[in-house]
Structure 1
């Protein structure tokens, strides 16, 4: 019954009213709410990476400096193991009850768990319970973050007009980088004002306490934002097609996701791997690499990275803007090839003990990272249809994140075990190969509706232009199908002629 109704709807001519026109005020609220929550997520990751040396001394005081660093980064990486669980849980919730409700829940959990890290007593005070409580807080963060980025990406993508999805989606990772800048800047400020003993005693806690007010602001913005038009339309469509289905909310079949959308899942995993391995290598592991492996002061290394990240803030929306003009694939491919070619030279520059060359090496990695982060949030949601978009994207994203999230720990371990300071560069080159391969299979999604959705426009005039384009695409597709039919008819005639020649050679066949 539902399938016949759906087929009947699809057979109706596409009209101007079928194109969704997005209210600009609602769009700005949606983008701001999603980006701020993402900024808070990465604020914590940035702070954690920049104070890892301090956390190692506070929570693992009996270990050697190298083991302290690896232990602190290991505590950072372990929560990535629970992110798939959070992704599945929040993904199913998001596809059943809506994106806005789930995003409000994830930011609450994230804010509370981050704030609590600042409250944990040191190892000297409560012994083994200190690292255990730190791990529990990080696990809670990992669970909530499992639904955070993917939910925010879906939220923005479903709100964004087709012709501006790249630009608007780029602000999501703008929020990520801004969170890093805020976290790093706060750490630098505290380290400058406080002496190291004071910073180790209580100064490191301050950045984590900032998560409280940030979380309240993010919750307010997300609660004020309305549900996405795409999800609302999906519910209305189901209500028209099947009254019983709507009572139980949309269902999600993971068997269907893994069997029917296997290619999209693999593409999503590839994009996430190359982007986030580069992300964590530059923005989480690099401060530790500069201080522990190269011997720079923490303040010196962090300051250089902060300057690079501020530059990334300006590049990020530019990449998103141009991806709406020339497509997403060129940027993913360019970023991956750039990473493959520039990883080794960049690390040679970083290890040169020359501030200018260090900055240049970091800048190379930052630019190729911008090429990928500038299009990721607009690319991934377009791979899946609305009814399973959150679940499928959260599943694939967080499976890839298990590997990407181990980057700081693996990189630190490789350097420690081999004594080779170029190991992080080789690690990035492996990620680059994954990105290059993925770019060949990635479908171009720029200026197209999300998979299975109707076109979305900024205004009525743009809607008319999109309708015209939709008609032209239909006409071209019909022409292509006609050519296929003609070719098949010619093949059929050739087969019939071949059959007849064989029959003519048999005395008892007609």
Structure 2
């Protein structure tokens, strides 16, 4: 049991750090915009700050190729150790950066470079950590173990939100701008050191060690994904599209939607979002456990099918103007997508053979996040602009859920099968 706890923590810690930074950067976007991209128009500063944030998404598929290759050729442990060091160093370095007022154009240039490094490490971190956890898991608990990867992301978001709320409450604005914003990034070094220590002192997965022993390591795993497992890659891409759109629409975009279009105070919108994420965090391990009993496929089809049917009425309910409706609607959204999000990690690990698992899963998962995930808030806002309907972001959710439902129908049930 102690060995399994260590495995779960080793897999989870990088995801906590990754999503903690994601939230902290978003939370501090206004401050970063003014300090690194000074402009007479605050909107220009903010847009440039978010532009740098988007740069990290572009690097995710590159990181997926790089760390997918390392994980399949040299081991999951090596890929995870490199990724957490890269992530911790780049996160901490952002906190140490001089501002535009101190070194001019070099400040935003260095910020872009560090966000590129972060994007690179993120591209391999999550998927490699899930492969690592599931390959260590007992056969009858793979769904439960795999759900811990996405649970780490939710914990990271809640930690980032809590840290941001505390520091803005206790510090005056002047201190927040001069040094306070840096403190949130320094937390990265603490999480990074703990994660590095745990990962350095943990065993490689039994499945990868089998490959080494039998001298069956794939020399070109990325190429072989498209030669030998292109159907599995297409399924991974299709299913991950709903994960990307669902997560960024429901748990990132809606908080802004409630503030901008429904005219709730920002604190109310964020409180609703936080409560729904706590519900999501509680349900993730439950659905992971349930999938070990009833299978992955029924839960995937139920979750995506319900989203297709309920996304528009739920959006209408959330946008009605009543705080209690928004809270109930957001919680229902969390329940509907929790099943899908909790078991997708294990499902995607199970459909690839060990030799090319890390590459297939990493690339197939990260590409839709770069294409559909990072752009979900932008597309949601654009849909409202062209339709005049504040509930139209639901159409994007319905599209992504329908794509995933179609892919889900073609899935072979893998819950009771040994890993390939």
TM-score of the alignment, normalized to the shorter chain, above 0.5: yes
How far apart are the structure 2 equivalents of 1:349 and 1:380? 33
How far apart are the structure 1 equivalents of 2:125 and 2:110? 22
Structure 1 residue 82 and structure 2 residue 59: aligned? yes
| Aligned partner of 2:252 among 276, 284, 290 | 284
Match of 1:144 in 2: 121
Provide closer, same or farther for how the CA distance between residues 127 and 372 of structure 1 changes in structure 2, counting only shifts above 3 A: farther
Cα RMSD between the aligned structures?
A: 2.3
Structure 1 residue 360 and structure 2 residue 337: aligned? no
Q: What do residues 121-149 of structure 1 show as CA deviations (whole Å, max 9, x unaligned)?
A: 44444444443332221110111111111
Provide closer, same or farther for how the CA distance between residues 314 and 102 of structure 1 changes in structure 2, counting only shifts above 3 A: same
Provide closer, same or farther for how the CA distance between residues 211 and 65 of structure 1 changes in structure 2, counting only shifts above 3 A: same
- Deviation of residue 353 (structure 1)? 3.4
Provide closer, same or farther for how the CA distance between residues 280 and 100 of structure 1 changes in structure 2, counting only shifts above 3 A: same
| Aligned partner of 2:204 among 227, 231, 234 | 227
- Deviation of residue 205 (structure 1)? 2.8
Bigger Rg, structure 1 or 2:
1
How far apart are the structure 2 equivalents of 1:164 and 1:340? 29
Match of 1:256 in 2: 224
- Deviation of residue 282 (structure 1)? 2.8
Provide closer, same or farther for how the CA distance between residues 65 and 304 of structure 1 changes in structure 2, counting only shifts above 3 A: farther
Match of 1:476 in 2: none
Match of 1:131 in 2: 108
Structure 1 residue 374 and structure 2 residue 342: aligned? yes
Match of 1:473 in 2: none
Q: What do residues 3-40 of structure 1 show as CA deviations (whole Å, max 9, x unaligned)?
A: xxxxxxxxxxxxxxxxxxxxx43222111110111111
- Deviation of residue 318 (structure 1)? 0.4
| Aligned partner of 1:119 among 83, 93, 96 | 96
Q: How many residues matched?
A: 419
| Aligned partner of 2:315 among 340, 347, 371 | 347
Q: What do residues 388-415 of structure 1 show as CA deviations (whole Å, max 9, x unaligned)?
A: 1112222212222221232234334555
| Aligned partner of 1:446 among 396, 415, 419 | 415
Match of 1:322 in 2: 290
Provide closer, same or farther for how the CA distance between residues 41 and 122 of structure 1 changes in structure 2, counting only shifts above 3 A: same
How far apart are the structure 2 equivalents of 1:217 and 1:332? 34
- Deviation of residue 188 (structure 1)? 1.4
Structure 1 residue 179 and structure 2 residue 156: aligned? yes
Assess if the C-alpha contact under 8 Å between 1:120 and 1:130 holds in 2: yes
How far apart are the structure 2 equivalents of 1:68 and 1:138? 17
SS in structure 2 of the partner of residue 450 of structure 1:
coil
Provide closer, same or farther for how the CA distance between residues 261 and 283 of structure 1 changes in structure 2, counting only shifts above 3 A: same
- Range 119-128 or range 217-226, more displaced: 119-128
| Aligned partner of 2:136 among 132, 156, 159 | 159
Assess if the C-alpha contact under 8 Å between 1:77 and 1:409 holds in 2: no
- Deviation of residue 302 (structure 1)? 2.0
Assess if the C-alpha contact under 8 Å between 1:49 and 1:284 holds in 2: no
How far apart are the structure 1 equivalents of 2:31 and 2:331? 26
| Aligned partner of 2:86 among 82, 86, 109 | 109
Q: What do residues 22-73 of structure 1 show as CA deviations (whole Å, max 9, x unaligned)?
A: xx43222111110111111111112233333443444444275655554433
Provide closer, same or farther for how the CA distance between residues 127 and 149 of structure 1 changes in structure 2, counting only shifts above 3 A: same
SS in structure 2 of the partner of residue 210 of structure 1:
helix
Assess if the C-alpha contact under 8 Å between 1:185 and 1:306 holds in 2: no
| Aligned partner of 1:430 among 399, 410, 413 | 399
Match of 1:492 in 2: none
How far apart are the structure 1 equivalents of 2:224 and 2:413? 23
Assess if the C-alpha contact under 8 Å between 1:70 and 1:412 holds in 2: no
**1:182-331 equivalent positions in 2, closer than 5 A:** 182-238=159-215, 250-331=218-299
How far apart are the structure 2 equivalents of 1:63 and 1:396? 42
SS in structure 2 of the partner of residue 251 of structure 1:
coil
SS in structure 1 of the partner of residue 96 of structure 2:
coil
